Structure 1
Amino acid sequence: AAELREFLENSNARLTQQEEQIVGTGRAIQALVSQLQRLQMEPTQQPTAPSPPVVPETSTIHSAEPRLPSPTVYSGEPQLCRAFLTKCSLYFSLQPSSFPTEESKIAFAITLLSGRAALWGTAVWNNKHQCVSSFQAFSDELRKVFDRAASGREVARILAELRQAHRTVTDYSIEFHTLAAERK
């Protein structure tokens, strides 16, 4: 049993490492796609005399976008769907110049999918499903497929039946406040 547990833990660690490498590769591809799109949009000009280097004013330096870690990979767990989409939306809001188009947002989000979520994302992307027209449409469709959040009435029932039982007060409190926030 211990050998099996160790094998599973090692396999899980290798799988996680491979998923991170795939995500990194996806980010690199997304960066190249974005750069290529920008270059294709620029008009081609004949080289002229080099212009003097532009020195940014100190007032514009503070407007740089923050460097953030990418949202975590989402593999289709129903209880994590909304959290994944919220993280993606926040990431896009805080780095708008990195994601100038709806297509770039969707492509980036798809690179963060794994397992059954990646299979779904690949299918809608390759088939040009209508949900790849905007990140909002993509998010709505992802929620339809993967999010199994409880309805308002269901959350109210769960809250009414919630008990601490054998868990810590902290764990109980976190679950209570999370459910209460979903109810609003």
Structure 2
Amino acid sequence: MDPKTLKSMRIKQVMITNGLLIALLTIVLTLFTMLRVTMVQMFVALAIIVLVQSLVRLLKGESTQSLIPIFEQVAIYEKQKMGREWRKQHRMGFISDFILSGVFLMEAYWSRGSTDVVMEMDSRFMLLMILFIIILMNIGLYIHIRKVDHSTSQADFKGYTLKTSLIGLMGGLAVGVVMIVGIVFYVLNLA
């Protein structure tokens, strides 16, 4: 793929990904606020959404088809460029979604006696959390795009899925700790 077309494709990918993420977060936060969703309801809803996404990935197999044309174009490009490692990454995505769905169901079970409403937090705090999520997503996307676009052969991707999965797991744990500490400080400052 020529550099100009590649750059255009990646810019569209990042813009649409960010637009979809912002729209989804806005819709979810609005619904959670209007409907006064409890913690249990939120975790069950998230579990169902992620499980459906996991099943769709499973049923799609190695197909690059997407409802959004730019995502299909990116998938075709990356599948051709990454080869076998793309298939591993695709499989790991399905497995990760399935595990995440289970984690959300466990959280729902552990929160089953709670009647706490999710969206009773300060709007400034929620805005900071949303910005944090968007920044993290963009950093991960940037690193992936850079790796794929600057690689010259499929051999450059040997072990890429395992490395990115381990980095994602460690990063997720670190982010979780930072978020928990942030929430604790936020709650203590309210008291």
When you count helix as a share of all residues, which structure comes out higher?
A: 2
Q: Which has the higher contact order (CA 8 A, sep 6+)?
A: 2
The alignment's TM-score, normalised by the length of structure 2, stands at 0.29
Q: Higher Cα Rg: structure 1 or 2?
A: 1
TM-score, with structure 1 as normaliser: 0.30
